[in-house]
Structure 1
Amino acid sequence: MTLPMVVPAPDLPARVRIHEVGARDGLQNEKSTVPTEVKAEFVRRLADAGLTTIEATSFVHPKWVPQLADAEQLFPMVRDLAADLPVLVPNQRGLDRALALGARRVAVFASATESFAKANLNRTVDESLAVFDPVVRHARDEGAHVRGYVSMCFGDPWEGAVPVPQVVRVCRALMDMGCQELSLGDTIGVATPGHVGALLAALNAEGVPTDVIGVHFHDTYGQALANTLAALRHGVSTVDASAGGLGGCPYAKSATGNLATEDLVWMLRGLGIDTGVDLGRLVATSAWMAEHLGRPSPSRTVRALSHKDTGAPEEQ
């Protein structure tokens, strides 16, 4: 298989942990129902490819995300894998359902903007934070690891550019209630590298250390890898990505797919950054899922490596 030439760059992390979201964020928008057995096999194949953090599902009410209505059936099918399997929990009921099945890593999802909080959570930003506070504290009391997602960190389809201090306030609130990790979401894909650096610097200035921050970029304007590199240069070493580039956001129609895990691995491999991921197995997994979904993978790397080699040199 063709692989990139490795040319390490200075001042970048030696290893990046990929937070794989394809089985949750990637599949939640599918119009046709993906069978539970196929989802479970997808998670198993992702783990076999070397991914160590795989977001398995979401314990939201089935009315809101019908594609993930099988969370109770799916999670027991994969929970014994040798990988961390975070799940989303929207409220106390969702947390209770997840903990009852043995989930040890959970995530809550907040918004940096009022418009998206209303569209996604039907609450104001402060009302949603008030709901999450007891959920996070209960999860921590039960020994679970808690991640806090923050959507619309860079732009909002209704409000436009989002002021950095507004994002920092929500992030700080999530940390104060007990979240151990943050994921900064570029939900509609409008971030640029300078904006990424400015937000990370502002978070550091407010006492949020880089080592608890992950980044979650969408590729609407083709900036996801550039923004990821900017975050890496700041010291971020956790990057969200979706196998095959699956996913978007059901409440933000301008959001296109997530950063493809394969495209990310290709870049990181070329930079000499370790991920532990077998790119060949990952590409085969995304090609397999694309067949089940009945359309080609959006990932450029999957498309390139799924065709016969064109004669480009192999990595030595």
Structure 2
Amino acid sequence: MGAREVGLPDRVVGEGLPESVTIWEVGPRDGLQNEDSIVPVGVKLEFLDRLADAGGRILEATSFVHPGWVPQLADAEELLAGLDRRAGVAYPVLVPNERGLDRALKAGVEHIAIFASATETFARKNLNSSLDEQFAMFDPVVTRAKAEGLRVRGYVSMCFGDPWEGPVAREQVVGVGKKLLDLGCDQLSLGDTIGVATPGQVTALIGGFDRVDRLAVHFHDTYGQALANTYAALRAGVRTVDSSAGGLGGCPYAESATGNLATEDLVWMLDGLGIEHGVDLDKLCDASAWMAEQLGRPSPSRVVRALRG
């Protein structure tokens, strides 16, 4: 059987699962931020167009971090200026502080994300702040963004394990998350930054939150657990899943963080479970295979490799 003859998986609807899931595509930002060679802005723009053509409706486009921190995203203004913004497609951007918010507002964004830590060590390494001090930094960002009519997402990193501190107490993660919601975040994305979580941990952590409808999950596949953890999150009531086209990505501040959950692998599972998501798998595989060619290496996604050879 040829690579293109596989088609879609047989659908068997699972009990206790949602009818639909929102896929939050992070490939253009999180997927490319750790590349060694600078990806031209034209390539990034075409990648975003291809993902929109494939049915992506939330495409995290870039980040307004200081260029010295993440040189790969130093072209944020140029990228947003050249972006063909599609009707019905959201293009969130990550902002680290008020200066980043100023740049984002000037660029005309409508949806931002802030990036918090669940642990003391990662807060100091990534945010130059303590675990408690980070909220004072985020407060004016969220307040101003909401006053400007922007939607705000709060990422929480190191929710299941930290390379310096080890396992992270669930109560600590829930405490950080609830503070971000109290600040005004519309949604929380719970991140397994180094990919150490297992499904039981995922179920237990989600169970600590009152508003599961405001949660998303963001899994890395370091130990091959990302899909299993996603399935556990869906059964626990989560309806938004972060993923990266082609399985691109990592974390520039955590060397043990490997690629994100591949969007194609997620879509294959959702299709098999009969869960609606709005993404065309064939077009998505084409987009990721094209991006892999631009980067000069094969796609990490198992589904892309299976369907595109």
2:250 is aligned, of 234, 248, 251, to 248
- The Cα of 1:101 is off from its aligned counterpart by 1.2
Once the two structures are superposed, residues 215-249 of structure 1 have per-residue CA deviations (whole angstroms, 9 ceiling, x without a partner) of: 00000010000000000001111000000000011
Partner SS state of residue 98, structure 1: helix
1:63 pairs, out of 61, 68, 79, with 68
Which letter does structure 1 place at the counterpart of 2:75?
Answer: D
In structure 1, C-alpha distance between the alignment counterparts of 2:253 and 2:65, rounded to whole Å? 15
> What is aligned with 1:54?
59
Contact 1:210–1:235 (CA under 8 A) maintained in structure 2: yes
How far 1:125 moved relative to its partner? 1.4
| 1:275 aligns to 2:277 (yes or no) | yes
- Displacement of 1:195 in angstroms is 0.5
SS in 1 for 2:38: coil
Shift of 1:79: 5.4
Aligned partner of 1:142 in structure 2 is 148
Aligned to 1:211: 213
Across the aligned residues of Structure 1 and Structure 2, the Cα RMSD in angstroms comes to 0.7
Which structure 2 segments of 5+ residues have no match? none
- Misfit runs of 4+, over 3 Å: none
Q: Among the aligned pairs, what percent are the same residue? A: 67
The answer to whether structure 1 residue 113 and structure 2 residue 115 are counterparts is no
Which position in structure 2 is the counterpart of 1:222?
A: 224
CA distance in 1, matches of 2:230, 2:180: 23
Q: 1:79–1:85: 8 Å Cα contact kept in structure 2?
A: no
CA distance in 2, matches of 1:140, 1:125: 23
Which residue type is aligned with residue 49 of structure 2? R
Q: For the residues of structure 2 that align with 1:176 and 1:146, how far apart are their CA atoms?
A: 12
Aligned length: 303
* Residue 285 (1) aligns with residue 262 (2): no
Instruction: Give, in angstroms, the shift of residue 11 of structure 1.
Output: 1.4
Is the partner of 2:209 in helix, strand or coil?
helix
User: Taking structure 1 as reference, are residues 96 and 59 closer, same or farther at Cα in structure 2, changes over 3 Å only?
Assistant: same
Opposite residue 31 of structure 2, the aligned amino acid is: G
What amino acid is the match of 1:76? A
State the TM-score, normalizing by the size of structure 2: 0.97
* Contact 1:23–1:55 (8 Å) recurs in 2: yes
Give secondary structure in 1 for the equivalent of 2:134.
helix
Corresponding residue for residue 99 of structure 1? 105
Match of 2:185 among 174, 179, 188: 179
Deviation of 1:113 after TM superposition, in Å, equals 0.2
Deviations 1:256-308 (A, max 9, x none): 1000000000000000001100000000000000000000000000000002x
Moved more, 234-243 or 121-130: 121-130
Q: CA deviation at 1:77?
A: 1.8
Q: Secondary structure at the match of 2:149?
A: coil
Distance in 1 (CA, whole Å) between partners of 2:116 and 2:207 is 21
TM-score normalised by structure 1 residue count: 0.95
1:125 to 131, 134, 144: 131
Amino acid aligned to 2:54? A
For 1:244, give the aligned amino acid. Answer: G
Query: Gaps spanning 5+ residues in structure 1: where?
Result: 308-316
What residue is the counterpart of 1:311 in the other structure?
none
SS in 2 for 1:147: strand
Q: Is residue 11 of structure 2 the alignment partner of residue 11 of structure 1? A: no
Q: Does 1:195 align with 2:197?
A: no
Q: Is the CA contact 1:36–1:74 (under 8 Å) kept in the aligned structure 2?
A: yes
Deviation at 1:141, TM superposition (A): 0.3
